[in-house]
Each structure stands twice: as structure tokens, then as C-alpha cells.
A and B are shown apart, each in its own frame.
Chain A
Amino acid sequence: MIGGRSYYTLIASLPALPTRFDVDRCPITWPRLEDRLRLLEPEDHAMLSQLIDFLAWDRQPLERTDAEMIARYDTLMKKITHPVIRGLVDDWINLRTIVSALRRRRLGEGSPPGIGCWTDTIRRWWSQPQFGLQTRFPWIEELDRLMASNSTRQAERLILSVHWSKWSREASEHHFSFEAVLLYVARWSLVHRWTSQNAVAGRERFENTLSKVLENHVQLAN
């Protein structure tokens, strides 16, 4: 508490994140959050950019190959030195690798070229229903079931809730420190991801309704 760099003004200027990530509205927009993050010291801002770069990396275009993604990931990880950022990235990558493995097995493909510390375990236990990871990650069984029933939205909710619970627990141990800022941004990204999906779903619903109305209008006119 006495040592280390503190960010009392910055943390107090950020709106409180909701208790759950699956809300309808993000408490702060990215431009506004980015503006507040200018209160960070330049070195810390540079370090936070590594987390933001990773979050950008996570949203890859579909046409990018596995090898390209892994190469970009390796380049990014060489730059990341802060233990909290590495922890956040590891959590995210491990979960993505597990999701990828479940999906590939369902499609009858081989084990993923994946990244992260569980790749070898997954390859070794490929024939096991949960790759022998069910003790470490008890949510795998439910995730597998949701993916099998094509409940993608529920699966996404489960994935985000796993991160949300872990990062919220970690956030409760940091107050007004740089780590608190990192965990705020990471948790904000989960809320943002969920609310963005809502926006996409809303737009789709709106477009469907609009096309139905236009169809009816055309039929009536004829």
C-alpha cells in the first residue's frame, strides 16, 4: 500500500463495473475509457497497451491461418513482461485452446496446434471426454454439452463467466494500483464483448423485422 505506483484519481474516475458481466449496457464507452487511461504514467500506459494489443489479437479475421495467429501471438508474448498481464493472457489463451480442442474433436479433426500450457496435456489425453482436465476446469463438461447442443450463446456466456469470476476475485485484492487498472480494463472488455454481441443481435433482429415488414408491404402492393 505504501510502496508502488498508485492511481487514486484514475480508479476513482472510472464508473463501477456491474456485479455481473451480462448486462445490457457497458458502464463506460471505449473512447471515454481510453481518455481516462491517459492518467497513467507513460511506462504503465505502454504496458497496458500490451493487454489492449492482446485483446485486439483475440479478435482475428476468419481468413487468418493458425500458423499466422500463433506467430502473432508469440511476437506479442515476447513484449509482455508484467505478471498480471501474462496471467490474464494465459487465462484467456488456455480457455480458447480448450474451446478449440472441443470444437475440433466434434468436427473429427486432430488436436489443435494451440498455444498455452495445456496444449500438450490435451494432445496426450485427446481420447478422454474432457482431456483429463475436468478436475482443474470443472466447467469443461458443461461447455462440451452446450457446444454439442449448438447453444453458442450459452457457451459464450459460460466462457465469459469463467473469466469474470476469476478476474473479479483477483480485482478484489487490488485497490488503486496499476494491477487494479489492468483488471478493470480486462473485466470491462468482458462486459463490452457481451454488450457488443447484444448490439449485433439487436441489429439482426431489427433487420429481420424490417425485411419482413418490407416483404408484407410488397405483397400488399401487389
Chain B
Amino acid sequence: MDVFILALGWLGIFAPTALGAIGSIIGCARAGQAACGAMLDVDGGYGRFVGLSALPSSQMIYGIVVMFSLNREVTVTSAPALFAIGVLAGLALMFSAIYQGACCASAINSSKSKPEIFGLSAAPAAIVEGFAVFAFVFALVLSGGIPS
């Protein structure tokens, strides 16, 4: 039983990085595909489409930082907390990256024919980013109080 609990602890440490990476992969791929499509339809402003499509990569970075904050000696006492904080923070980061990718794709699709709405169309993606930041910050705060 102890081994299983310890395994969960290790899972919790790496979960933010792995889940954040999965989310960033999907989010950036979707937004990137939309950016490529938009380039076929317009004659300029390609840079900002590619720039916007990279927005969901931040979740990966947050995941790495949370992983380092959780990285410590895994004991039967600390493992449950590591698992809970790591997995839940990872899931939050993963879903925020996936849906932020969808927001970025929509922003690219809308702003290609109406460049004047580019900033405003990126606002939903920024709001989604805000939720990822909340999950990230409070994971860091809670990681400081994990019993050793």
C-alpha cells in the first residue's frame, strides 16, 4: 500500500509538467493550424497570427514551475498532498491550454478579415490564461504547506 501511495506522490510531482505539455501541444497545434489557414486567405499580417498561436505554450511553463515547487522527498505523509495538488493543477493547466488554443483559433479566424478587432478577439484567450494563472499561483502557495 505504501508503495502505491509513494507512486501517487511521484505522479503528482510530474503531472503539472506532463498535463501542461499535453494541453500546450493540443492548444498550439489547433491555433497554429488556424494561423496556417488564415495565411492562405490574407496577404499580410502573418506574424501576429503565428504569435497568437503560441499563446497556449505558457501552461507548459507554469507546469514546470509547479513541478519544481512540488519536487521534494516523497514520503507516505507528503505523497497524498503532492498527488492532489499536482494532478489537479495539471488538469487545470491542460484544459486551459486546450481551450485557449480554440479561443486563439477563433481570434485568428475572426481577425483575418477584420484586422481592427485583433486585440479584442484575443481577449477571451487572455481571460482563459487568467484562470491558468490562478491555478498556477495557488498550487505554488499550497506546495509551501505540504507536510514532509
Contacts and interface: CB of A to CB of B under 8 A. Distances in A.
Interface of A: 1-2, 6, 8-16, 36, 175-176
Chief secondary structure at chain B's binding surface? helix
12 contacts: A8-B30, A8-B31, A9-B37, A12-B34, A12-B38, A12-B40, A12-B109, A13-B36, A13-B41, A15-B113, A36-B40, A176-B102
Nearest to B105: A8
A162 B30 CA distance: 33
Contacts of A15: 41, 113
Contacts of B36: 9, 12-13
Contact of B108 (A10, A12, A16): A12
Contact of A8 (B33, B40, B98, B112): B33
A12 B99 contact: no
Contacts of A14: 37, 41
Contacts of A9: 33-34, 36-37, 40
A176 B108 CA distance: 12
A8 B37 contact: yes
Contacts of A8: 30-31, 33-34, 37, 105
B106 interface: yes
Nearest to A8: B33
A12 B37 CA distance: 5
B37 A10 contact: yes
A16 B34 contact: no
A12 B112 contact: yes
Contacts of A176: 30, 34, 102, 105, 109
A175 B113 contact: no
B35 interface: yes
